[in-house]
Chain A
Amino acid sequence: MLNKYKFPKLSFLAIIFSMAAYIFLVPTVAKAATVDATLLFNPNTNSTTMSGTNVTFTARVNPGSNNTQGVNAVQLDITFVPAVVHLVSATAAAPFVPMSTPDIAAANASGTLSVPYFIGGGQVTALSDVATLVFSPQGIGSNSPIAYALTANAAVNDGNGTLVASTRTGATITVASNGSDITPPVISAGTPSGQLAAGTTQQTVSVTTDENASCQYATTSGVIYGDSPAIAFTTGEGSTAHSFIATGLISGGTYGYYVRCQDVSVNLNKDTTDTSIAFSIASPAVNPPSSGSSSSNHQSSNKKAKTSPRKISNSKKTISRGSILTQRGNKFSKNALIWLYFSKSNGGYYAPQKIKSSATGSFVITYRVNKSMGRYGWYALDTKTGKKSKSVYYNVK
C-alpha cells in the first residue's frame, strides 16, 4: 500500500515545488532593473583665493539602489580649462587602482584626462572614492573671481563585467586674484566695420595685440575670457595677429563681436571694456514666399462684425490646461503702453501685464495657460487714451 501511494506523493510534491518556484522566483527575477549608479565630485564646488594654492576634488561613485552586484570599474573622463587650472595629480583611492598611469602632462596640454579605475577581484556596494584629483590654479591677474567648470563622465561596470551606466557630474572651481598687477594686452585694428556687400556669407574678423596673446570673442559683451560662450580665435594663438572666419552671414543682418585677450603671463584685459567689432551686410529686398493665402484676409464670412476700436482676440476659444494661447490686439494707440488684465481662477484680475503696441497700434503675446478648468476673460487698457477694449473669453478644459 505504501509503495502504491509513495510515488504519486512525490509527483504531487514536485508540482507544488514548481508552482512555488514560479510564484516566488518570477517577481524576484522581474526586479531586474536599470543600474542607477551615479558619479559625483566631493566637494561639488571649491574655491581658492591664492594663485598656486592647490584645490582637491574627490571623484566618488555611488553604486545605486538597483545595482546589487556593486561596481568594480569606473572609466573616468575629466575635462577642465588648463589655462586657468593645471592638473597636479590624479591618485586612485583604494580599493580602486588605475589600469593605466594618468598622463598629467598630456592632460594639461589637452584639458582632458581619461583613466580607467578598477578593483581586482572585488567590488564596492556603497558610496566610495574612486580617485583624488589635485588642481593648481594658474596666476590670474584679475580682481574678479573666475568660475570654471570641471566635468567628469564615468562609465560604470556593474560587477559582472558589463559596462552599464554612463553618468556625468560637474563641479566648479572659483579662482580669485592674488592682487598681482594687471598688464593686459592692448587690442586694436579690429576689422571689418561698416556695411559689407549683400550676399556676403562669410568674413574674416581680425584684431591686433601689442604683445603676444591669445584672444577670444563672444557675441555679447561682458563675457569673461575663458568662460562660455567665449570662443577662441582660430589663428594667432600666442602671437599679435588674431583672426577667425565668421560664417553663416545673411543679407540684412548686423553682427557684433566682443573681443578679450590674455597674454602669456595670463594677464587678462577682462576689467576693461570689450573691444567690439561691428558690421552689417547690405540687404536686398526680402520677398515673402509666394502664396495664394493671406492671413487676416477678411472674406466670405457673413458673420463678420464691423471693426471697432481697440479689438483683442484669442487664437483659440477652448484650450487645454498647460497649453499656450496666443492673444492679439489692434487699433490701439501707436507705440503706446497697453495694460492687459487677465482674470483669476477665483475671480478678480491679476495686476496688469504691460506690453507695448507697434507703430500700427497692434500687439501679440503668447501665454501659458495653467489655470483650472473654467472660463477666463481679459481686456486691454490703452494707457494713452485711457480707453478699454471689450473683454474676450476663452475656456480651459
Chain B
Amino acid sequence: MIKLEKTKKYLVFAVVFVAVISLVIFGVIRSRRMATPNDKTLAVDKNLENSVIVQTDDGTVSKVDMASGQVISANALEKEDFSDFAGLPQLSDEQKKNSDQSMLVAGDKSQAILTITLYDTSKKPAAAGGLPILSADDYLCAIVQKICQKTDLLTKEYQGLDAKLQEDRNAFVWTAWDAKRNLLLGHIISNEAEDVSPMYECEISTGSCIFTVGYDSQKTGNSTAVIPTGAISPSLEKFVMVAQRDLPNQETGKNWSLLLYDTNNLLNPKAYDISVIIDHDENVAYDSVHSIAWSADEKKIAIGTTRRIFMFDTESGGLSLAYIAPTDSEGDFNWDSSRLFLSPDATAIAFVDTKDTLVADATPSDGTDDNANETVEDTDISLNVLKKIDLQNANKVTELLQGEGLSLKF
C-alpha cells in the first residue's frame, strides 16, 4: 500500500512537472512568434496586384483591375479605414467631422503610421482659410493585429535633419518608411509647393540622417532636383530625382538628368540624360517631370511630364514615347500628370484625364472683359476618366472608369 501511494505521488509530480515545462516552452515559442515578422506579409511586395486604386471627390475609394477594367473592392488599408483598430482615440461624431488623418504605410504593408489631426472649429474662418489645429498625434498601427499605439517616429529628433524644418509641414514631408531596414525617407517642399531635393534618409534606431548632396534646394547656388510623385521604388531601395536646371514654372531647362539613387549609397547616383523628352512645343509653357511609376522588378519606369508619358529602361537607358495628351481646338490639354500607375509587369500604364470641366451655378459671361471686382466664385466639378495605355498593343488607349474628381490614389 505504501508503495502504491509512493507511486501515485511520483506520477502526480511527474505530470505536474511536465505541465510546467510545457507551459514554459509554449510561452517561449509564442513570444518568438510575436517578435518575428509575419513572413506572409513580407511576401506581399513580391506579388503586387495588377490593379489601380482611385478616389473620387466624395471620398469613395475603388480598385480597378487593369486587365478587365472591373471595379473591385478596396481593402481597409487602401481605404485608410482604421475604424476597427484598437488604441486610437475615440472621437465623437463632431470631432470626426473636424479631423483628418494621413497615413504613412511601411513598405511591407505590415504597419502604418497614422497621423490624426483635430481642428478647432470655434474659430472658423469667415470666407476661405483653414481651421486652427488643436492637436496632431501619430499612431503606430499593426495592420494584421489591428492595434495602434502612440509613436514619435516621425517627430523625434533626427541628427542631420533640422528640427524646425522637420516640424514645418509646409516645408518637409516624410514620404516612405522601410520598416524592415528601419529607415524613413523624406524631402523638402519648395516655395512653389513642389517636392524637391534633397532627399533625407534617416535611420530610426540611431536617430541620424544622411541626405543626397549636390542638389540642395536650401543652399544658394545649388541647383534643385525635383522629386516626382512615385519617385521611390516598391522595394524602397531606390528612388529617382530629376535635375531639370530650370526656372520653376517659368523657363524649361535645357538639360534634364534622371538621377537613380540606391538608398544604400546616396553618394553616387546613376545619372541618365533624358533631355530628349523635353517638350519644346509652344503649347507647353513649362515642361517638367511630374510623376514616376515603377514596374515590380524596378527595371522599367514610366515618366509623366507636363504633356507626355515615356517609358524608361534603367538597364539600357532606353526611352520611348508612350502617350501625348491630345489638345483641343484651343490648344489645351488636361491630363493629370501628377500621378501615374505602371502595371507590375510593365505592360500597361494608367492615368487620369479630364473629360469635362463643369462649372455649376456660374454667372454667365456678360461679355465684358473686366472682372476685377468679380465676387462670384466658381466651384469646379471636374469629370475625370481613368485611362489605360496598352504598351503591348501599339500604346492603344482605352477608358476604364470615370467619376467626378477622379484621381489615382497611392
Residues of A that sit less than 8 Å from B by CB = 7, 10-11, 14-15, 17-19, 21-22, 25-27, 29-34, 36, 38, 62, 64-66, 149, 151, 153, 168, 170, 172, 218-220, 228-229, 247-250, 252-256, 286, 288-301, 303-310, 313-318, 320-326, 328, 330-331, 335, 337, 343-347, 353-360, 362-377, 387-393, 396-397
Which residue, B59, B128, B336, has most C-beta atoms of chain A within 10 A?
B128
Q: Which of A26, A345, A357, A391 contacts B378 (CB 8 A)?
A: A391
Closest to A363 in B: B285
Given contacts A250-B319, A324-B339, A358-B283, whether A370 and B170 have CB atoms under 8 Å apart is yes
B265 to chain A, nearest CB (A): 6
Chain B residue nearest to A307 (CB atoms) is B365
- The contact of B334 among A14, A295, A345, A360, by CB within 8 Å, is A295
B404 at the interface (CB under 8 A from A): yes
- From the candidates B28, B57, B321, name the one contacting A286 in the complex (CB within 8 A): B321
A303 near B360: Cβ-Cβ < 8 Å: yes
Give A295 to B357 CA distance when docked, in angstroms: 10
Residues of B within 8 A of A317 (CB): 57, 379-382, 404-405
B78 within 8 Å of A (CB atoms): no
Q: B125 near A: Cβ within 8 Å?
A: yes
Main secondary structure on A side of the interface with B:
loop
Interface contact A295-B353, CB-CB below 8 Å: yes
In the complex, the answer to whether A7 meets B17 with C-beta atoms within 8 Å is no
User: Are B12 and A362 in contact, with the CB atoms below 8 A?
Assistant: no
Complex CA gap A320/B405 in Å reads 12
Given contacts A168-B264, A219-B275, A298-B328, 4 further A-B contacts (CB under 8 A): A29-B32, A149-B268, A296-B357, A369-B193
Give every chain A residue within 8 A of B259 (Cβ-Cβ).
229
Contact (Cβ within 8 A) A219 B271: yes
- Asked if residues A376 and B358 are in contact (CB atoms below 8 Å), the reply is no
Is there an interface contact between A358 and B326, defined as CB atoms closer than 8 Å?
no
With a cutoff of 8 Å between Cβ atoms, the chain B residues found around residue A255 in the complex are 273, 275-276
Q: Which of B273-320 contact A (CB under 8 A)?
A: 273, 275-276, 282-286, 290, 306, 313, 316-320
Cβ distance B347 to chain A, nearest Cβ, rounded Å: 15
| A296-B24 in contact given A229-B271, A317-B381, A388-B372 (Cβ < 8 Å) | no
Q: Determine which of B117, B126, B173 lies in contact with A368 in the assembled complex, contact meaning CB atoms within 8 Å.
A: B173
Provide the residues of chain B in CB contact with A11, threshold 8 Å.
12-13, 16
Tell me if B35 and A33 are in contact (CB < 8 A): yes
**Is the beta-carbon distance between B337 and A250 smaller than 8 angstroms?**
no
* B369/A36 in contact, CB under 8 A: no
Q: Considering the chains assembled together, what is the distance between the CA atoms of A396 and B169 in angstroms? A: 15
Is B86 in contact with chain A by the CB < 8 A criterion? no
Q: Which B-chain residue is minimally distant from A291 (CB atoms)?
A: B397
Q: B337-364 vs A: 1/0 string, CB under 8 Å?
A: 1110000000000000111111110101
Of the residues A62, A256, A353, contact of B249 by C-beta under 8 Å: A353
B285 touches A247 (CB 8 A): no
Residues in A whose Cβ lies below 8 Å from that of B355: 293, 295, 297
CB contact between B205 and one of A65, A300, A305 (< 8 Å): that residue: A65
Most buried by B among A295, A356, A396: A295
Chain B hits for A362, CB < 8 A: 283, 285, 330-332
Closest Cβ–Cβ distance, residue B253 to chain A (whole Å): 10
8 Å CB contact of B356 from A304, A355, A365, A393: A304
**A interface footprint on B358-390 (CB within 8 Å = 1, 0 otherwise):** 111010110001111010111111111101010
Top 4 A-B residue pairs of the complex, sorted by shortest distance between their CB atoms = A229-B271, A219-B273, A253-B276, A372-B130
Question: How far, in Å, is B355 (CB) from chain A's closest CB?
Answer: 7
A219 contact set on B, CB distance < 8 A: 255, 257, 271-273, 275
| Cross-interface CB contact of B182 among A21, A36, A370, cutoff 8 Å | A36
The answer to whether A29 and B28 touch across the interface, beta carbons within 8 angstroms, is yes
- Distance from A190 Cβ to chain B, minimum over Cβ atoms (Å): 16
Give, as a whole number of angstroms, the nearest-CB distance from A177 to chain B: 21
- Contact yes or no, B270 A372, CB < 8 A: no
